[in-house]
Amino acid sequence: MNYLVGLLSVVFFILAITVISKSLKLNKNLSGENESDSALDSHNNTNAFGFLLFWLFGTIAGVWSFLHSKPDFLPVAASEHGVKTDSMFWISMAVVTFAFFITNSLLFFFAFQYRNDKNRKATFYPVNHKLEIIWTIIPAIVMAILVFTGWRTWRDITSQAPSNAVVIEVTGHQFGWYVRYAGNDDSQLGNINYKLIDETNSLGLDFTDKNSFDDFTANELHLPKGVPVLLKIRAQDVLHSVYLPFQRVKMDAVPGMPTKFWFTPTISTDEMRAKLGKKDFNFKLNCTEICGRGHFGMAITVFVDEPADYKKWVSEQKPFLTMNPAYLSKVPENLKAKASKYIPAEPIAADSTATEAVSVK
C-alpha cells in the first residue's frame, strides 16, 4: 500500500509539472507568441490519450485496491441485523460504484473524443428538458430507495426490544467497562445513582430498589446465542462508544444520557473459532471514541454461548449484595427481609468473576 501511495505521488507530481508547463505555453500564446497548428494538435492528442491512460490505470488500481483489502474485511455478520446492514452496505456500495464508474468513464471519454479539432465545428446545444428530467428523476428515485431502505433498517434496530430480551448494562469509564447483569430471580436491572458510587460500589447500585438485590457484575460480556439482547449503555465520565464489530453493534455511551441497542447474536464463540480456524479467537467489545490516553486498551472479552451454557454461567454468578454483605445496611427496613436471602451465613471469598467489572489500564 505504501508503494502504491508513493507511485501515485510521483504520477501526480509529474502531472502537476506538465500542467504548469502547458500553462506557461498558453500564457505565451495569449501574449502573441503563437504555436503552430501541428504543435497544438500534438498537445491535444497527448492530453486526450493521457486521459484514457489515467482512466485505465485508475480503474486497475481501484480493482486491485479492493481485492488487496478483501482479506481484511470482517467475516459474515454474527447477528441478525448485521446480515441486513451488510446487505444494505454492499448494495449501496454497488450502486454508488456503478454511478461513479459510468460518469467518470464518460468524463474521460468525452475529453478524448471531443478534443480540439480545427475541422470540427461545435454544435450550439443550449437546453434539453427531456434529458434534464431523466438525469434528475432516475438518481432521485435510486437515492429515495436507498434512503428508505436505510431508514427502515435503522427503525428496526432502534425499535422496542422484544419482551424476552436479556437485559445487560454496559457502562464506560476511563479506561474500561463495567458490565451489570439482571439477576436470576427477577431478570430486571435495579436502579443506580451516581451519588452512591464509592470505592466498592463503582456503579452506584441503589439498594432502596429491590430489583438491585440480585444484580451481579462481571469482567466479561456473555451473550446467549439466538436470544435477543438489550444493551443499556451509559458513561460515567467522557464520551465512549460501544463497538462489537462481529455483531455489527455500535452505539455511543454518553454521560448523563443513557442509550441502548438490541440485537440477536447468531454465531457462538465456538462456531466463529471453527469458521476462522483460530482456536484462541474471542469476540471483543472495544471503545471507538477517543477518550484519553488509555483508549487503545479499552476492551473486554465477549463470549457468545449456547443458551444452555449461558443459563449455566449466569446461575453460577453471585449477586453484588452477596459478595458485599455490608451493603445490607443501605437497604430500607421494609426490604431487609427480602434482601437477607442474598446474604450468606458465612463470608464468601472474593470471586474475580462476580465482583467489580474489569477496568483496563
User: How far is the CA of 287 from the CAs of 57, 118, 194, in angstroms?
Assistant: 38, 63, 22
Gap between the Cα atoms of 40 and 44, Å rounded:
6
Kindly report which listed range (37-46, 120-129, 284-293) carries the lowest average pLDDT score.
Answer: 37-46
Burial class (CB in 10 A: 0-12, 13-18, 19+), 260: middle
- pLDDT band at residue 151, thresholds of 50, 70 and 90? very high
Q: Give 67-80 pLDDT, tens digit per residue.
A: 999 888 888 899 99
Q: Give 294-353 pLDDT, tens digit per residue.
A: 999 899 999 999 999 999 999 999 999 999 999 998 999 888 888 888 887 665 655 444
CA 86 to mean position of chain CA atoms: 11
Gap between the Cα atoms of 51 and 105, Å rounded:
10
Q: Give 94-118 pLDDT, tens digit per residue.
A: 999 999 999 999 999 998 888 877 7
Gap between the Cα atoms of 127 and 81, Å rounded:
47
Q: Give 25-54 pLDDT, tens digit per residue.
A: 666 665 555 555 566 667 778 888 888 889
Parse the chain into domains and list their residue ranges: 7-25+42-83+102-117, 166-340
Gap between the Cα atoms of 341 and 312, Å rounded:
21
Rounded to the nearest integer, the mean pLDDT of the chain is 86
pLDDT reported for residue 6: 66
CA 351 to mean position of chain CA atoms: 34
pLDDT reported for residue 353: 42
CA 140 to mean position of chain CA atoms: 27
Q: Give 251-288 pLDDT, tens digit per residue.
A: 999 999 999 999 999 999 999 999 988 999 999 999 99
Degrees to nearest 5, angle at CA 99 with 98 and 103? 120
Please choose, from the candidates 296, 174, 198, 304, the residue with its C-alpha nearest in 3D space to the C-alpha of residue 247. 304
**Strand partners of residue 229:** 166, 263
What is the domain class of 166-340 according to CATH? mainly beta
Does 123 have pLDDT greater than 60? Answer: yes
pLDDT reported for residue 352: 42
Place of cell 460500589: 201
Does 125 have pLDDT greater than 90? Answer: no
Provide CB contacts within 8 A for 88, sequence distance 6+.
149, 150, 153
